[in-house]
Amino acid sequence: MNNKNSKKKIYVTYGIIILWLMTVNVPAFSETETEAPEPTGKGIEMSRAIAVAKDQRAYEAYEKRNAEITPWVEDGTPPNPGNAALLYYQAFLLRPEPPEAIRYKIHSFTEPTRQIRTYLGHCLPVIEIVETASRMSCIWGVWPERRLSTMALRREMGSIQDIFLADARTLAVDGHFRVALERCLTLRRIARHLSDDPQLHIYATGFDTLPLNVIRDVLGIMPPDVGTLTWFRGQFAVVHGPELSYAEILRARIRRFINHMRTTPRSLSYYKNLAIKEAEDEQAKNDIRNMTDEQFLAKASEGYVRFLDSYFWVVDSEMAYEQKLVQMNELYNEKIKDQNTGPVVKSVMTLFPGTGGYTSLVEHTAHVNGIKAAVEVYLALAKTGQLPKKLPDHLPKDPFTGRDFVYEITDEGFALRCQGKDFLNRKYRRLEFKVKK
C-alpha cells in the first residue's frame, strides 16, 4: 500500500470515529451538570460567580479581537497538505452550545447584543480553527450508507455556519466590512469542501446560499469604497463555492441509490417486484425472478447510465434554459415509453428527479453572477458618487437566458432580475441590493 492510500485510510477511520461519537446519545454539558447534586448556599453563589467571570472574559476577548482585527494576509505559501476534516472535527468538539436566550436570535439580528458578543467570544478558538481548515484540502471520511454520520456532520457544520454568519454580521455592524466579507468567503470554501464528497455534495448549494445572502447585506451597509470593493471582486472570483454540474449530481444519485439497494434488502426487493410488474409476459417475469441481486443491480445501473449519457448532451448544449427543460422532459418520457428500455431500467427510472435539480443549480449560478455584477455597480457608485443609469458592459450574465440582468434603481438601492416572462413575478429571482445613504 502506498503512503497516500495509507494516509487516506487513517483520515477516513478518524472521521468515522468522530462522526460516530457525534451520533451517540451523549448528554449536553448542561444536562450532565443537572445530574450532579445541585450546590447550595455559598456553592450556588460561587458557581454563578465563576460563570459570570467566564462570560465576562469571553465578551472582553471578543471585543479585544474586534478592536485589533486585521484582514487575513495571504503569505504566498503553498496549500497545507494536511486534512481539513480533522480540524473541522476538532471545531465540532470545541464548539460551545449557544445559551437558550440566543439560540434562535443568532440566526438573524440587526444589532448584536452583549449576549451574542459573549457567545462569539467563547467561539473564538472555533473560528480560528475553521478559518485555517477552510484553506486546506479535505477528505471528510464519511461512512458510506450510514445516514446518521452525514446527518451529524450536516448538523455540526450548520452550527459552525451560524457562528460565522453571526460573526460576519457583528463585524459589519462594527465597521469591519472586509473581515466580515472574509467570513462569508470562508463559508464558501467549506461549501466547496462539501461538494467534493459524493456523500455530502447534496448539501453544498444550500450551504453556500446563506453566506451569499450575508454578502449582499454587508455590501448594503458598507460605504462604497473602491479599495475594499476591488479586493472583494478579486477574492470572489477565485474563492469558489460548490462547483457542481447537473451531470455529477445525477451520476452520484444513481451510485448512491445502487449502493443503498445493495445494503438494504427491503429496498432491493421492492424494485425487483416493481420490475416484475412492468414485465410484459411470464417469461420476462421469470427472468427477473431468477436474476441474482448483483445481476439486477448491474442491469439497472447500466441502463440508467445509458439514459443519462443522452440526457447530459442536452444539459451541456448551447440551447436556452427553457428549451433545455422541454428537451429533457421529452427524453425522459421517450425512455419510459420505449419498449426497448426494459422493465428493470423502468423500475429505477421512477427515481429520476426531473428538471427541478437543474433549475436549482441555474438559480444558484444566477445568485453568484448577480453578486459579481452588483459589485461592479457598487464600484461605479464609489467612483462617481451615484448609481449608474445602466449596467456596465461585459458583466456576468443571467444564466437563464444568457443575456444581461435586468437592472432597476430602487428607493433603497438597486435590483437585478433574471430575464424572461416567467421570471417577472418571481421575487426569489430578483436580487435586491441596498446602498448606504
Q: Are 405 and 418 in contact (CB under 8 A)?
A: yes
Helix (H, G, I), strand (E, B) or coil at 434: strand
Mean pLDDT estimate for the chain: 83
417 φ, ψ to 5°?
-135, 145
Which pLDDT score, from 0 to 100, does residue 9 have? 52
Which pLDDT score, from 0 to 100, does residue 374 have? 97
pTM (2 d.p.): 0.81
Rounded to the nearest 10 degrees, the angle between the axes of helix 177-195 and helix 84-94 is: 120
Q: Angle at CA 28, nearest 5°, toward 25 and 29?
A: 140
Residues 79-108: pLDDT tens digits? 555 789 999 999 999 999 998 889 888 988
69 φ, ψ to 5°?
-65, 140
Q: Can you name the residues that pair with 432 across neighbouring β-strands? A: 415
Cα separation, 313 vs 301, in Å, equals 19
- In one-letter notation, the amino acid at residue 166 is A
Residues 296-328: pLDDT tens digits? 999 888 888 888 888 888 888 888 888 888 888
Cα separation, 247 vs 227, in Å, equals 39
**pLDDT tens series, the chain, 437 aa:** 455 455 555 454 555 445 444 444 433 333 333 344 555 566 777 788 888 888 899 988 898 888 887 765 454 444 555 789 999 999 999 999 998 889 888 988 889 999 999 999 999 999 999 999 999 999 888 766 555 577 888 899 999 999 999 999 999 999 999 999 999 999 999 999 999 887 788 889 999 999 999 999 999 999 999 999 999 999 999 998 897 778 777 887 788 788 888 888 898 899 999 999 888 889 989 999 999 999 999 988 888 888 888 888 888 888 888 888 888 888 888 888 776 788 888 888 877 777 778 888 888 999 999 999 999 999 999 999 999 999 988 899 998 888 999 999 999 999 999 886 555 555 556 899 999 88
Cα separation, 120 vs 118, in Å, equals 5
